[in-house]
Chain A
């Protein structure tokens, strides 16, 4: 057999586009015929360079597309830190810096671009940086310590991203732009001026229309001298962000044709001038033009996979250079013919200098006599982007009053129907028809979040998410499928809405709530849901008064019902830490009541087989020994699992047990839409498996990383990083907010992972609310949690001390001394197990003792 039965494909470059190529190759079966070797020059796998500015906030892991550094498909191998230094097109081989030679059957160049550093004197000084990689950001952060002022040279899109990063680092930031306005490529003079006002208001200094003559300093930067200015501006660091150049050296030296302004010249299938060599992304120049955005790169990656698969090959004939982003908190969008270069085009402008909003539409009359949208610019409020951009080139006529499209929302927006082939997501090229197909009867999706997952619409930059949501909702409405989110037949509202209603009115009783806002007398869905909401709001005893009958099976008896009608008992063992004396008490109670004993996954002990009437006696013993309810029966905080931490472990960097106990005691008894679990690991080894929890905390040298919305169970999800390197008070503040926000807004029985996925903006939204406090809810949420913490009591202790509550814990109301004859046990591995039931058991003679199989 030939050793080369399978062909070898080499990808040079593991950036966003290289990664996308590999993903598409795996998904679409190219790996059935090719082994793929990916060479990445950077020390880490591909990451989201578009979101580079958020690196300081979220860290490298959150940005990574491949955190483990391994593709699931074993036919793809990724080599990091591998630099390609030579290309031999005759031998079809790549030479690596370490001397290794790699043969290829097909070669895909995805080497990206490099920042352009203009030949300004002084650009070789220390503390002069570029802005492209995580390593660049690390270096900038290092230099920013102790720096007072810095400049970003370049006021384009990337320059403003860099300025944002510098500003975040607390450095007085200058933005230096040669053109007369900021973002000269995307926006016009009026848009640039609006943007500049926003940025100046944030405390940054903007210099437009200036030429940098020299970077001053001897070893490191001390200042920047502009042409015509007498004194240099005093500075400690400089970042160049004045454009990028394709990294085409490898191809150039191998004799491949390159474009006049750089980039490997390729045809519409991204084929270079040399056989079996393809180029995609920023290193490529299809038709002589390079594209410095990620979406065209993705499109090129798909085209090459298409072509290599040999099917109906797609082609790359140019790209939508539309852009929407938030720069320094300011919305900026530019799409289509933003500068009205089309003959006979007209401009519609809305400008509100006070609010800092500038919007322009470029329109023209089409052949049919209607008015068509050609492009536009939005600064300060880009919310209309999702509706406007797909209209460009779609052929649909604008409404009679197109200005309505850009007037403030309070004037009432207009409904615009998009044609089926309108491209809604430009990053991943998803059309409206594809979105509708995903939610159609034979489609696989039932929600906008699912559509994003399945079609990738909105998965990259997210700017079209609101449009995706609208399309999905419109589709459901059109087929008469109301997205029924009502709680049950008794309440036509969602749990979140009901929560608000109950909180605002201050209701404390189910009867009042259903009389005012529901119908009928409720059911097994709305009653426990309202019981949970009331418990979250009031933190009263769940067995108090009329609310007792609302409680679900387990809450009703403060224990977990098992298959034969007996209960299991779980005392709280915070953080999994327990003294030998307390362990002995648990053992004695289990022995005396004949209970089956098992260690739970939450680091505590579950005692099974307790009869209803024995629960109070069992708990009396446990309470007397210092135990309290573990709330294993409630939709509430269960446990905060911990590893042993720095106290004992030679690797530990923080006291994970101490923090786990603190968190478990803080949130114990907190009723929530679903059960809640936490975990704390004392170092990055993550022995507590904290990232499988609703909230997971992992120690770092500097503090704690907080992960949220991990779930085990049937739909496992890893928790995602919310914020890093927190001190304990900040960690607790964020957690208080996160948990209360979840409790208030989640659906019934919705765990944290699907809850986060259901929010517009997902985890970013959670971060905005919890960390940035954009809703201004922070202190309210914290106060609600503090109220919970202050009013906590042990509900089992309160129960054993209250004869009225104990009345219900009987086998038979008229024969409390007679144990339920239906319950019987068998022996399994030396402990009890429920015996199979054959039907209702009748006591032959009242009071007669019949064997029931219990070991006692």
Chain B
């Protein structure tokens, strides 16, 4: 599915200051050549997913609306694709509307106020 995949590196990419991401907003970043969507929740957690929406096949997830959905009593943070509104769990990349679909997630941390995206996590497609 992935053309010209570069080897997964252990490099950490400093993406932007946390303040640059709106609360319950997202940004697109270029990480080792991949388009990565980085989100910030209401609780200031950060999550990184592939920016690629497997449903619409467009690189747009960072522009989706961030919210929560209650699943088994837990408020799951999600982003809704701006194209056709499928929801993706920010923690796992799993699509909440269609179980078989998952987007790649990335390690991400806030270090000294800077958002740092790390390696691609192995689970998930793409």
> Which residues of chain A have a CB within 8 Å of any CB of chain B?
489-490, 520-524, 527-528, 546, 548-550, 552-553, 556-557, 561, 563-565, 807-808, 811-815, 818, 820-823, 836-846
B65 on interface, CB distance cutoff 8 Å: yes
Q: List, in ascending order, chain A residues with CB within 8 A of B42's CB.
A: 521
Looking at chain A's contact residues, is the secondary structure mostly helix, strand, loop, or mixed?
A: loop
**Could you mark each residue 17-35 of chain B with 1 if its beta carbon is under 8 Å from any beta carbon of chain A, else 0?**
0001011110111101111
Query: Are A565 and B22 touching (Cβ within 8 A)?
Result: no
Ordered by A's residue number, 23 sampled pairs between the chains whose C-beta atoms are within 8 Å are A490-B67, A520-B75, A521-B41, A521-B77, A523-B68, A523-B69, A523-B80, A548-B22, A549-B23, A553-B82, A561-B83, A807-B20, A813-B28, A814-B14, A814-B16, A821-B35, A836-B57, A839-B126, A840-B52, A840-B59, A842-B32, A844-B6, A844-B33
- Specify which of B14, B29, B60, B78 is in contact with A561 (CB 8 Å cutoff): B60
Contact with A839, one of B3, B14, B20, B25 (Cβ below 8 angstroms): B3
CA of A521 to CA of B68 in the docked complex: distance in angstroms?
A: 5
Q: Is the CB of B75 within 8 A of A842?
A: no
Contact B33 A843 (CB under 8 A): yes
B90 → chain A closest CB, angstroms? 12
A563-B56 in contact (CB<8A): yes
For the complex of A and B, 4 pairs with smallest distance between CB atoms: A524-B80, A553-B82, A840-B52, A822-B59
CA of A839 to CA of B34, assembled, Å: 12
Q: Name the B residues within 8 Å of A528 (CB-CB).
A: 65
Which single residue of chain B is at the shortest CB-CB distance from A545? B22
Contact of A813 among B27, B63, B68, B83 (CB under 8 A): B27
Known contacts: A561-B83, A818-B30, A842-B3. The answer to whether A524 contacts B35 by CB under 8 A is no
Residues from chain A with Cβ under 8 Å of B82 in the complex: 552-553, 556, 561
Task: Decide if A556 touches B63 in the complex (CB within 8 Å).
Answer: yes
Q: Which residues of A contact B77 (CB under 8 A)?
A: 521
Q: How far is the CA of A565 from the CA of B59 in the complex (A)?
A: 6
Q: Which of B34, B67, B78, B126 has the most CB of A within 10 A?
A: B67
Cβ–Cβ contact B65 & A838, under 8 A? no
* Nearest B-chain residue to A811, judged by Cβ: B28
**Is A846 a contact of B30 with CB atoms below 8 Å?**
yes
Q: Determine how close the nearest CB of chain B comes to the CB of A609; give it in whole angstroms.
A: 13
Q: How far is the CA of A564 from the CA of B56 in the complex (A)?
A: 8
Q: Tell me whether B28 and A841 are in contact (CB under 8 A).
A: no
Q: Are A822 and B35 in contact (CB under 8 A)?
A: yes
Residues of chain A within 8 A of B16, CB atoms compared: 813-814
A580 → chain B closest CB, angstroms: 37
Q: Are B58 and A837 in contact (CB under 8 A)?
A: yes
B63:A557 contact, CB within 8 angstroms = yes
B58 engages A520 (CB within 8 Å): no
In the complex, what residues of A have CB within 8 A of residue B57's CB?
A: 836-839
Nearest CB of A to B67, in Å: 4
Contact of B65 among A552, A563, A821 (CB under 8 A): A552
Q: List, in ascending order, chain A residues with CB within 8 A of B3's CB.
A: 838-839, 841-842
Among A550, A823, A845, which residue has its beta carbon within 8 angstroms of that of B33?
A: A845
Chain B contacts for A553, CB-based, 8 A: 63-64, 82-83
Given known A-B contacts A520-B75, A553-B82, A840 and B68 have beta carbons under 8 A apart: no
Separation of A842 and B1 alpha carbons in the complex (Å): 12
Closest to B31 in A: A814
Given A524-B85, A813-B29, A843-B33, A565 and B58 contact (CB-CB distance below 8 Å):
yes
Q: Are B22 and A814 in contact (CB under 8 A)?
A: no
Count contacts between A and B, CB distance < 8 Å.
Answer: 137
B92 contacts chain A at the CB level, 8 A cutoff = no
Given A822-B52, A840-B52, the answer on whether A549 and B25 have CB atoms closer than 8 Å is yes
Which chain B residues (40-67) contact chain A, with CB distance < 8 Å? 41-42, 50-52, 56-60, 63-67
Q: How far is the CA of A808 from the CA of B4 in the complex (A)?
A: 29
Which residues of chain A come closer than 8 Å to B56, judged between CB atoms?
563
A822 CA / B58 CA spacing, docked (Å): 7
Tell me, rounded to whole Å, the shortest Cβ–Cβ distance linking B54 to chain A.
8
Measured between C-beta atoms, what is the minimum distance from A845 to chain B in Å? 7
Given A814-B15, A814-B29, are A549 and B69 neighbors across the interface (CB < 8 Å)? no
Q: Are A565 and B60 in contact (CB under 8 A)?
A: yes
Q: Specify which of A520, A552, A807 is in contact with B67 (CB 8 Å cutoff).
A: A520
Point out the residues of chain B lying under 8 angstroms from A549, CB to CB.
Answer: 22-25, 65-66
Tell yes or no: B10 within 8 A of A by CB: no
Q: How far is the CA of A548 from the CA of B21 in the complex (A)?
A: 12
Q: Is the CB of A814 within 8 A of B30?
A: yes
Query: Which residues of chain A have C-beta atoms less than 8 A from B126's C-beta?
Result: 839-840
Measured CB to CB, the closest approach of chain B to A815, in angstroms, equals: 4
Chain B residues lying within 8 Å of A818, measured Cβ to Cβ, are 30
Distance between A383 CB and nearest chain B CB, rounded to angstroms? 42
Nearest-Cβ distance from residue B5 to partner chain A, whole angstroms: 6
What distance in Å separates the Cβ of A778 from its nearest Cβ neighbour in chain B?
37
Contact of A521 among B60, B67, B83, B85 (CB under 8 A): B67
Interface residues of B in 62-106 (CB under 8 A from A): 63-70, 75, 77-78, 80, 82-83, 85, 87
**Is there contact, CB below 8 Å, between A839 and B2?**
yes
Distance in angstroms from A750 CB to nearest chain B CB is 18
> Which chain A residues border B14 with CB–CB below 8 Å?
814
Chain B residues near A840 (CB-CB < 8 A): 1-2, 34-35, 50-52, 59, 126
User: Which residues in B have their C-beta under 8 angstroms from that of A845?
Assistant: 33
A419 smallest CB distance to B (angstroms): 43
Cα(A687)–Cα(B56), bound, Å: 38
Give the residues in chain B near A808, CB-CB below 8 Å. Answer: 27
> Once the chains bind, are A842 and B4 in contact (CB under 8 Å)?
yes
Nearest CB of chain A from residue B42's CB, rounded to whole Å:
5
- Chain B nearest Cβ from A398, distance in angstroms: 48
Contact (Cβ within 8 A) B58 A564:
yes
In the assembled complex, which residues on chain A have CB atoms less than 8 Å from the CB atom of B27? 808, 813
Q: Which residue of B lies closest to A520 (CB)?
A: B68
Report yes or no: A524 in contact with B64, Cβ–Cβ below 8 A.
yes
State in angstroms the CA–CA spacing of A821 and B51 once bound together.
Answer: 12
Having A524-B65, A549-B23, A813-B27, one finds 14 other A-B pairs with CB under 8 Å, namely: A520-B75, A521-B41, A521-B75, A524-B67, A561-B83, A812-B28, A812-B29, A812-B35, A813-B15, A814-B14, A836-B57, A840-B2, A840-B126, A844-B33
* A67 to B16 Cα, complex, angstroms: 65
> In the complex the two chains form, is B33's CB within 8 Å of A842's CB?
yes
Question: CB distance B58 to A563 under 8 Å?
Answer: yes
* CB neighbours of A552 from chain B (8 A): 65, 82
Considering only CB atoms, which chain B residue lies closest to A848 in the complex?
A: B33
Quote the shortest CB–CB distance from B39 to chain A (angstroms). 10
A841 touches B29 (CB 8 A): no
A842 CA / B34 CA spacing, docked (Å): 5
Minimal beta-carbon separation of A552 from chain B (angstroms): 7
| Best-buried of A490, A528, A565, A823 by chain B (most CB within 10 Å) | A565
CB distance from B7 to the nearest CB of A (A): 11
